[in-house]
Structures are given as C-alpha cells and as structure tokens.
Amino acid sequence: MLKVVIEVDERQKNLLKEIVESYIKEVKPIGSKHLCDKIHCSSATIRNEMAVLEHLGYIEKNHISSGRVPSEAGYRYYVENLMEPKELSGEDMLKLQTLFSNKNLTVSDAIEKCLEIISDITNYTSISLGEYSDENVLRQINIIPLDETKLVALVCTDKGIVKNKQFSIPPDINMMEVVKISEIVNKMLVGTPLSVVAERLEFDIKPIISKQVEQYEAVYGIFYDAFHDFISNNENIHVVGKSKMLNQPEYSDTAEIKRLISKLEDESEVRKIVKHDNRDISIYIGSESNFDDNVTVVKTNYSLGGEEGTIAIIGPKRMEYDRVVAVLNILNKWLEGVGD
Amino acid sequence: MLKVVIEVDERQKNLLKEIVESYIKEVKPIGSKHLCDKIHCSSATIRNEMAVLEHLGYIEKNHISSGRVPSEAGYRYYVENLMEPKELSGEDMLKLQTLFSNKNLTVSDAIEKCLEIISDITNYTSISLGEYSDENVLRQINIIPLDETKLVALVCTDKGIVKNKQFSIPPDINMMEVVKISEIVNKMLVGTPLSVVAERLEFDIKPIISKQVEQYEAVYGIFYDAFHDFISNNENIHVVGKSKMLNQPEYSDTAEIKRLISKLEDESEVRKIVKHDNRDISIYIGSESNFDDNVTVVKTNYSLGGEEGTIAIIGPKRMEYDRVVAVLNILNKWLEGVGD
DNA sequence: TTTAGCACCCATTAGCCTTAAGTGCTAATA
DNA sequence: TATTAGCACTTAAGGCTAATGGGTGCTAAA
C-alpha cells in the first residue's frame, strides 16, 4: 500500500482556525457559506477544502448534509498550531492582582480564592488538588488540654501549615503526663521532615514513652494518630464553580447536566481530573481528559507555601482555549515569583 | 356578607391525605378515579369532595380538566394535621449510629459528616450554618515563628475550636518580642469568654504592650487581627448534595436546574435558607422558605461542642415529609444527649 | 484551480388529528 | 339526602405529514 502524507496548506490551516473559532463562538455546525468572507473564496471552494480537512480527521459532520464541527483532533491541531496567544483584559488582570497582593492568606485559602477568581474570569469550573511538599519540616507539636479527658493535638510545619485534632483519652491516663510527653516529642522531632516523622516516632519516641508512662500504648496512640492524621490527610481538594457548567449551551439536556454535576460532586471522580503531570500548561481534550469525553481540562502545577499540586480548569471542548491559557500563564508567572 | 366557616370532615381529610401522599409518590396530578379504592366511593363523589378542597385552597388544578395537585396550603395542612410519624429503616438508623459513635471528630467535621449521611438517607440537599456559642472561653493563644518575618498565630477555645492565621511582620520587629508578648497575652486572657476578648485586648492588653515594645502598634495589630479573624469568621457553612436536586423529576427543565444549583452555590443565597429560629423542627413550604418558591426547607437547631447553628434539609415541595422529620427527630435526640 | 449550478439530504418546525385522562353537571338511584 | 352513572366538554401529549432552510457533493463551465 502506498502511504501518502498529506500536508495541510496555509489556506486549510486558516480554514480550520476559522471553523474552530467560529464554532467556539456560535456553538452550531459551521457551513461553507459562512466562511466565504473570511477565506475570500466561494463556498464551493471551501466545501472542497472542508472535504480534505474532514478526510484528515480534523472536522466532522453530524449528518450527511450538515455543517462541520471540529473533532478532538481538530481542537488539538488548533491548540498546538493555530491558536494565538491572548492578553487578559485589564479588568481580569486586576482581579488576579488583588489576590496576589494579599500576603496574609493561608495556602489553602489562597488557592481557593484563586479558583474563585479563575472561575469568575473564565466562566468554567476550576479545581485544585494539593498536598504538602517534602520541604515541610515539623515546626511544633502542641497538646492543649481541654478538660480531664479531652485534649486538642496541634501540628504545625515550618511552612505554616497547621492541623488540629481532638482526642478523648481514657480516664486512667493523667493529662499532665500527656502534656509532659508532648514536650519531649516536640523537642525531639522539631526539624524533622514530615516524610520521616512516622518512622522516628516509632523507633525513637516510642521507647522513651514506654519508659516514662505506664499506659504508654494509649499515650503513644495519641501522637501516632495526630501525626498519622496529618500525614495521611494531606490532600486538599477544592472544586469551585460547578454550576458554571450549566451556562454552556452544549450541556442543555438534563441527563447530560446530571451526569456532569454529579461527577463533579464525587471526589473520587474529581481526583481523576487533577493528576500531577510535569508539563507546564497541559491541555486534555475530550477523551484525553480521563474524566469525561465531553469536556476539556487544562492543567498547571503549582508550588506555594509548602504545598504543591495542580490547578485545573474544566469546560466544554469548545473552550475558549486562548483565554484559559492566558489566565494560567499569568498565574504561573505569579507562582514562580512567589515560590520558594 | 355572611361568613361561613367550612370545616373539613373526616372523609375530606382522608382524601387530602391521599392526594398529597399520592402526589409525593407519583409526581403527577391525581385524578378522581385513582382514589376510588382508597376512599371507598365513586369517582363522582370524590370529584365533589375535591371541589370542596379546591374551594378551600388545599388543592389546585393546572388546567380546567386536569387532575389535582396539592397547594402550599394543602401541604401545610398535611404536615400539621394529617402526616403520620414514620420510623427510620434499620439501615438508615445504622448509618446515623456510626456517626454518633465517633468521638474524635472536630465539630465541623462531625456536622459535615452528618450532612452527608442526611443527604444520603433522604436524597435531598442538606445545609448547615454554625457559629461558636457564647460558652466558648479562650483556652490558649500561641505564636509559632516560622522564620524571621513569618509567624502563625493560633487561637484555641476550651471547647476545642482552633483557628490559625499566618502573618508577615515588618523586618524591624523582633520575632522573639512577639513571642514574649504572646505569653503575656496568653496568661492574661485565658479563661476569657470570646465575647469580651476584643474588649479586654483593647483596654487591658494594649497598654501593657505599649510599655514593653517600641513598635507596639504593629505587634498589637497581630493580636488584634488574630482575634478579630477568629471572632468575625466564626460562621461555618456547609452545603452537601447539591446534585440531589437533579434527581427530582420536578426539576426537569434546564432553566429550573440552573436557577436552583446556582442559588445553592451562592453563599449569600444559602444564608437566607439557614436562619436561626427557635422552634424544634420547623417546615417552610415554598414561598415560606424565603429562598425559592419551588422548594421546601426543613430546619432544626443544634448545639454541639461549642458550636451552635441550624441544619436544614432542602428538597421539592412534594418532599417526603414524614421521612425527613423522622431523620431530624433522631438527630435531635442524639444532639440533646450529647449537648453541653 | 475556482466557481456556478443543481440535485439531494435531513433536522426542525408547524399544523393537524387522535388519544387518554381528567373535569363539571345533571339526572337517576339507594 | 347523599351517592353515583352518564355525558359533554377540555386539555396535554403523541404521532403523522408537509414545508422549510441550511447544508452537502458533484459536474461542468470559466
């Protein structure tokens, strides 16, 4: 079999670009007549060229006599070769800037605020998944007794990430002993990277506790639980603007809406969207998204105040790619400036 | 004009009950024929009785020859006079029990977990709004330095509610001085009810800081901010199961869904739903809900671990009132047992 | 190589008819 | 007197048909 490599010429590129961009705006199949003005030739010529693009798999028809719609491959070709970078409007920049200028937010709050602004600017749903980075080092552990049987255990890292958990202790354990032990634990573990805290607790701390306290199992359990909770619950997930999906005309039938919104409410599904990858800004179109064939996901990674993770924007396949990429570009620039 | 008080007789009550309950199940207008079996008479008789109920405003027609649908007044009459209490299924009880038995959850987590179970059992959206109760007394304030310019301020109450905030301090302030001051503040304020912390800070602490530190304004600012943040951000709002709305057949058109889901994503709207009221379990039907004419809201108050607030279940007007009330009853009983 | 022209395709809409489910009213019945 | 059977009437919903409009591919001429 003879294999022919068909190259797209300039006019075809231009045509594909127009089709994609028109479709993004109009959300309805694009016919040849509509493009005469833009491409400067007759509808018949455009039809011929369209036939080529269709043959190449960049555009599709819904039925034999309908206008053309970009295929996933078409969108991909568009974002890789045709899309022109876009500047954010002054208004949108301003919104981001106000976020960037606030220095007193916790990481989690900053990220959530960020998602809100992104959703607001783009009109798409935004998601983040972050976890403490390995840079985090134990800064302080603190036991605060509340009454004879209840206490709060606080863990704080040098990056300022704090978690607390409440415990009920058995009545035969002396609260002051727990506090005393906490001071020892504190002294010994401060400066330890989170990744080895569990280990050190087991091998260095446990023997000491067992010498000092009678009910050492129970007391050790508190510290074990507190750290375990801290280390294993280290994922921080946010989804903002779920209802933005509802504004997209392609999700106009209720079954489709239900499917999408329910998925977005299901954390295990959302995790599928936000997975680490090392590229700068990456675009996953339709089936590439690993989440739903009818959406596009655009992701970027962040590293901020001891937390690292991914921010994703999720919208229809006919997403305004240029704007979304512009937003994430700005974000990236800011994160690099702040980061470590 | 002669005023005649029309009383509903037993059969009419029975009829209304059947209409409401059938409509809750079937979600379509109920015709006279369908009720013959239940009421033990002919459709003509039922039609006559229906005419009375309609005249009284308890049921409505969509058009001249359609079956009947309960009106808001009809639902109200139903919940106040006709509804029979229902027992929860063993399965559902079990789900609640597992929550109740977990002692090591923070209040906020317990409430959120609770909402998840409620949403799961009822298939409706559930919401909570809580704030620290006046019982809370300052238990500890803690400054943890992270580096030369950054610190975390922790505030903990005797009920175990903890909040933390990160601060950047100007380079000309000595971190150790802040820590020293924090110890003084701590000693002076421990045991102070939250409601008077702001006051005491201003009048008792400020003068002391001003004597001890040169940049007293800035140092005072940190404590002021930390407490202010704690006291003013004391509202805790959760919305769980927004997509449950989508399962209700009456919300089958996209515009309606959009309206509702968007409202549920808007915190200021959600606040309208959850407002304190002192009745035990209260039901707000349609326009009574102060949120949306097409929903019913059922609320109850809670007081748990230093936080008090309201839990609300929001669903269609043809909500399964008996089940929802049963769930909240169980919840109330548990909360009373645990409470203060 | 481009384009005008034409036959053809099909989703969508409007109009019409039928059916099913309901009503209110009247007159007969228990 | 309360109930019921019977009947004329109403309406939403579903199915069918025809018309419309936006689109196509192909052919032949420019």
pLDDT tens-digit readout, B146-157: 998 899 999 999
Contact criterion met (CB < 8 Å) for B166 and A104: yes
Q: Residues near B225 by Cβ (< 8 Å), separated by ≥ 6?
A: A104, B153, B165, B167
Q: Give the whole-angstrom CA distance, residue A53 versus residue A304.
A: 44
8 Å CB contact of A258 and B247? yes
Residue B78, class by beta-carbon neighbours within 10 Å (0-12 exposed, 13-18 middle, 19+ buried)? buried
Q: How many CB pairs under 8 A join A and B?
A: 97
| The model's pTM | 0.90
Q: Residue B254 is nearest to which of A162, A241, A257, comparing CB atoms? A: A257
Walk along chain A (340 residues) and give the pLDDT tens digit of each residue. Answer: 444 455 789 999 999 999 999 999 999 999 999 999 999 999 999 999 999 999 999 999 999 999 999 999 999 999 999 999 999 999 999 999 988 887 777 888 899 999 999 999 999 999 999 999 988 999 999 999 999 889 999 999 999 999 999 888 888 888 988 999 999 999 999 999 998 998 999 999 899 888 887 778 888 888 999 899 888 888 999 999 999 999 999 988 888 888 999 999 999 999 999 877 776 899 999 999 989 999 999 999 999 888 999 999 999 999 999 999 999 999 999 888 764 4
Nearest to B134 by CA among B317, B311, B308: B308
Q: A152, A256, A264: best mutation site toward chain B, by most B Cβ within 10 Å? A: A152
Q: Which residue among B103, B146, B246 sits closest to A257, beta carbon to beta carbon?
A: B246
CA B127, distance to chain mean position in Å, is: 4
Distance between the alpha carbon (CA) of B73 and the C1' atom of C27, Å: 35
Report the C-alpha gap between A160 and B152 in whole angstroms.
Answer: 6
Residue B154 has its nearest CB partner, among A154, A167, A168, at A154
Smallest CA–CA distance, residue A251 to chain B, in Å, is 9
Q: Residues B130, B144: contact at Cβ < 8 Å? A: no
- Please state whether strand D lies within 7 Å of residue B140 at its CB atom: no
Nearest nt by C1' to B68 Cα: C22
The yes-or-no verdict on residue B339 having pLDDT over 70 is no
What is the pairing mode between strands B68-70 and B59-61?
A: antiparallel
> Which strand D nucleotides have any atom less than 7 A from protein CB atoms?
3-6, 9-12, 22-27
B176: Cβ–Cβ under 8 A, 6 or more apart, which residues? B145
Residues of A within 8 A of B159 (CB-CB) are: 146
CA of B65 to C1' of D7 (A): 15
